[in-house]
Amino acid sequence: MDKQTFLLWAERNARRIGVKKGQVVKAFEKEMTAQTGIDAPFEIPDTMHVNMRYSYGGQSRFFREILENKRLMGTRCGTCGKVFCPPRSHCPVCYEQTAWIELKGTGKLLSYTTVYFATSSYIKRVPYIVAYIKLDGADTAILSNVEMKDIKKARVGMEVKVMFRKQRDGRITDIYFKEAQ
Ligand SMILES: [Zn+2]
One DSSP character per residue, the chain reads --HHHHHHHHHHHHHHHTS-HHHHHHHTGGGGSTTS-TTS----------------GGGHHHHHIIIII--EEEEEETTT--EESS--SB-TTT-PBEEEEEE-SEEEEEEEEEE----TTTGGG-SEEEEEEEETT-SSEEEEEE--S-GGG--TT-EEEEEE-SS--SSGGGEEEEE--
Q: What is the pLDDT of residues 151-174, one digit of tens each?
A: 999 999 999 999 999 999 999 999
Q: How far is the CA of 61 from the centre of ligand 1 (A)?
A: 20
Domain residue ranges in the chain: 1-47, 57-179
What's the pLDDT band for 122 if we cut at 50, 70, 90? confident
Q: What is the pLDDT of residues 81-100, one digit of tens each?
A: 999 999 999 999 999 999 99
Q: Tell me what pLDDT residue 145 has.
A: 95
Q: Tell me what pLDDT residue 16 has.
A: 93
Q: Tell me what pLDDT residue 34 has.
A: 62
Q: How far is the CA of 48 from the centre of ligand 1 (A)?
A: 43
Whether the predicted model's global pTM rises above the 0.85 cut:
no
Q: How far is the CA of 79 from the centre of ligand 1 (A)?
A: 5
Q: How far is the CA of 87 from the centre of ligand 1 (A)?
A: 13
Q: How far is the CA of 104 from the centre of ligand 1 (A)?
A: 21
Q: How far is the CA of 171 from the centre of ligand 1 (A)?
A: 27
Q: How far is the CA of 99 from the centre of ligand 1 (A)?
A: 11
Q: Tell me what pLDDT residue 1 has.
A: 82
Q: How far is the CA of 91 from the centre of ligand 1 (A)?
A: 5
Q: Tell me what pLDDT residue 134 has.
A: 97
Q: What is the pLDDT of residues 2-30, one digit of tens each?
A: 889 999 999 999 999 999 999 999 999 88
Q: How far is the CA of 101 from the centre of ligand 1 (A)?
A: 15
